[in-house]
Amino acid sequence: MSISVNQQAKVFHLQTAHSSYIFHVMANGDLGQLYFGRKIHVKDHYDNLAKRERREAMVAWGKDFDDFQPDNLKTEYAAFGRGDFRDPAYQIAAENGSRISELAYAGYHIEDGKARLSELPSAFSQPSEGVQTLTIDLADPLTGLQASLHYSVFEQEDVIVRSTTFSNLSDNKIILRRAMSAQLDLPDSRFQMISFAGSWARERQEVKNALKPGIQSVGSLRTASSHQENPFIMLARPETSEDTGDVFAFNLIYSGNFLDQVEVNHYDLTRVLIGIHPEEFAWTLDPNESFQTPEAVLSFSKQGFNQLSQQLTNFYANHLVNPRFAKQPRPILVNNWEATYFDFNEDKLLAIAKKAAELGIELFVLDDGWFGHRDDDHTSLGDWFVDKKKLPQGLPHLADAVHGLGLKFGLWFEPEMISMASELYKKHPDWLIVSPKRQPIAGRNQYVLDFTRNEIVDTVFQMMAQRIEESHLDYVKWDMNRYITDMFGSQLPADRQLEMAHRYILGVYHLYQRLIDRFPDVLFESCASGGGRFDLGMMYYAPQAWTSDNTDALSRIQIQYGTSYGYAPSMMGAHVSDVPNYQTGRITPLSTRGRVAYFGDLGYELDITKLSEKEQQEIKKQVAFYKRHRQLFQFGTFYRLQSPFAGDKNVASWEVVNADRTLAIAARYQFLNRPNPAYLRLYFMGLSPDRLYRINGSEETFFGDELEDAGYAVDQILDINQPMTASADFSAHLFIAQAVE
Ligand code: DGJ
């Protein structure tokens, strides 16, 4: 049993394998948060944790609750306007305009398992997996508002998933002005907040700051989780490292506007709120209507960041990603985008596909430019019909030829978008999102379809379904290349306009679900100008995502390293591309490009027909090597060893280890060469301490504990005839630790 309830004291103790999450019902009927952290014993009550001395100059509840001062308490789901002056978890507007409500405990029930949500991506479990879900019902008899707080306990993975369902049991309408997915109050503020910020082509760079009094937050109002901020954040004790120390993770299974807010109040209490960004949100609940928030993912580790990332990775594989693909080896692909951009014909594509087959590549992806009259990015989005000028024999013909080479075939779409120069726009000029009487703002010369409208989603579905069916597609790359401006719902009444952003994302999810239901064997990869929608909402439908448009190996080390804190390697599309790199102009060795891309879903994105014989042979070897270790690279236990965001930022290393710890591959990357460098060692992690290993087939053997604590000497001598040694610029070395039989 992962949920213990003391019915008398009304204490709820949720236990995962290594953590405890405890709350209780307080004197006034509110829920009080007691503890989240390392697993502790179940007791009848934890009064000591709730103890508060009365303080002067504070708002206090009336004579029955003389000592009850909401501003100095830790609570579970705070209301607005009843004495807690921190930002609340929810807020309403009642028909008379009042924003005040008060949710008091009304009961609880526990169910086995975790059911999927119907309109939102969500965690799930099979009946036999020991997952339990606790629902606490809260009610405000004066307004008729009811809220159910859901807590699903994923014991094995050390994860708790939270969400809230609001219902209107009154005869009047109630407007939800804020409906966060989860609130967590912590007893002090001695934490660093770690978030992942960036922009196009430099996504998810680690940002670390000590908490300060007041509010600090990350969020997005772009109707996408965004390149700029990511919903994944951590709170860690300052001394926490990769393998020791306390750290909390927070993420949201959602792809739209979000807010992760951390507030430190005057008693040094820390409140984390995570959910839909309240700024562009409101939801009208008519009598008997309900609203379901997205789900928040909470996790705690006492063994530092690596442990935390690993438990999240396990959770995603078991309870978030489409089970059809979650543990399936992902194909090695070649994508024609950086090879041809818009300029291709069937011969060119087939030449690439043929070469790909020779090199051992498994999937050919035809990217942007195959439809309408799309010779540049000004036209044709929405016209999901083949461009007969480029592919006169049609898509099925090309698909047959690709399949005939023994390759899978994948196709690019940007389903949510419309170009003004398109047949779709001619027919339906009113289908794009636009604010009345204003000229809509273009992004990459394109506009956004109003996905809150069923007929629009249905039209796009029909076109995509035809393409998928007629060409027997194995893979779809779903791109999204602009953020949404001019947000206005032409079909929504004035008082429901703030529902638009959330309804838009529900439309996106609806289309994904319809396509998956109809084509369960198609692998989806999500993309948003690279990593602009790298979030758990997308991962529920599309098991992998294009991590970044920046394929420069050095940039990718940082991007993949940052991403790895909150996401699994198998979620990261990682391609070897041409040099000089299109985004940075940098020339890195092919070996380095391969050794970075190995630690994700490997692909190639360059004109492989133009490579020298030597380069082709090298790619063939890379592909064969990756296939041999694919399971390890995609699904092994991932360890960050040395951060490119720390120290002199000149070196990075990471490692994957197999389940029985008999095989590990570590990579060490050096950015710039240093003359006469210091002597270096690589410190492995996750090995069996008592086993002997050979490194790269060495004669000498090393104990696991030796490799972890004494380290392995890294060769530093620069041989100018062999410029790619460990100390040359942009070099990458692999260290394969194989256990001795
Ligand atoms: C942006 C994506 O990130 C690229 O990989 C490529 O698909 C282009 N869009 C195509 O327009």
Q: pLDDT digit string (tens) for 528-564?
A: 999 999 999 999 999 999 999 999 999 999 999 999 9
pLDDT above 90: percentage of residues in the chain: 92
CA distances in angstroms from 375 to 368, 370, 442, 528, 581, listed in the order given: 10, 9, 18, 20, 23
Instruction: Delimit the CATH 2.70.98.60 region(s) of the chain.
Output: 3-319
With respect to CATH, is domain 642-739 assigned 3.40.50.1970? no
Could you tell me the distance, in angstroms and rounded to a whole number, from the CA of residue 368 to the centre of ligand 1?
7
Say whether 28 counts as a known binding-site residue. Answer: no
Say whether 383 counts as a known binding-site residue. Answer: no
The structural architecture, per CATH, of the domain 3-319 is: Distorted Sandwich (2.70)
| CA-based end-to-end distance of the chain | 40
Q: Whose CA is nearest to atom 11 of ligand 1?
A: 368
What distance in Å separates the CA atoms of residue 232 and residue 226, rounded to the nearest whole number? 12
CB atoms within 10 A of CB 365: 26
Instruction: Delimit the CATH 3.20.20.70 region(s) of the chain.
Output: 333-635
Say whether 39 counts as a known binding-site residue. Answer: no
Instruction: Delimit the CATH 2.60.40.1180 region(s) of the chain.
Output: 642-739
Q: Is 521 a catalytic residue?
A: no
With respect to CATH, is domain 333-635 assigned 3.40.50.300? no
Give the count of alpha carbons within 13 A of 618, CB side only.
15
Residue 674: pLDDT over 90: no
- On average, the pLDDT of the chain sits at 96
Could you tell me the distance, in angstroms and rounded to a whole number, from the CA of residue 445 to the centre of ligand 1?
14
What distance in Å separates the CA atoms of residue 99 and residue 93, rounded to the nearest whole number? 5
- Nearest ligand 1 atom to alpha carbon 527: 3
Q: Is 479 a catalytic residue?
A: yes
Which residues does a 6 A CB cutoff place in the pocket of ligand 1? 337, 367-368, 412, 479, 481, 527, 529-530, 546, 549
pLDDT confidence band for 679 (50 / 70 / 90): confident
Residue 63: pLDDT over 70: no
* Active-site residue, selected from the candidate residues 140, 260, 387, 479: 479
Cβ neighbourhood burial of 41 (10 Å; 0-12, 13-18, 19+): exposed
Per residue in 446-481, pLDDT (tens digit) is 999 999 999 999 999 999 999 999 999 999 999 999
Collapsed DSSP state (helix, strand, coil) of residue 390: coil
Say whether 477 counts as a known binding-site residue. Answer: yes
Backbone torsion region of residue 288, taken as left when φ is above 0, otherwise alpha when ψ lies between -120 and 50, otherwise beta:
left
Could you tell me the distance, in angstroms and rounded to a whole number, from the CA of residue 469 to the centre of ligand 1?
23
Per residue in 200-253, pLDDT (tens digit) is 999 999 999 999 999 999 999 999 999 999 999 999 999 999 999 999 999 999
Q: What is the pTM of this model?
A: 0.97
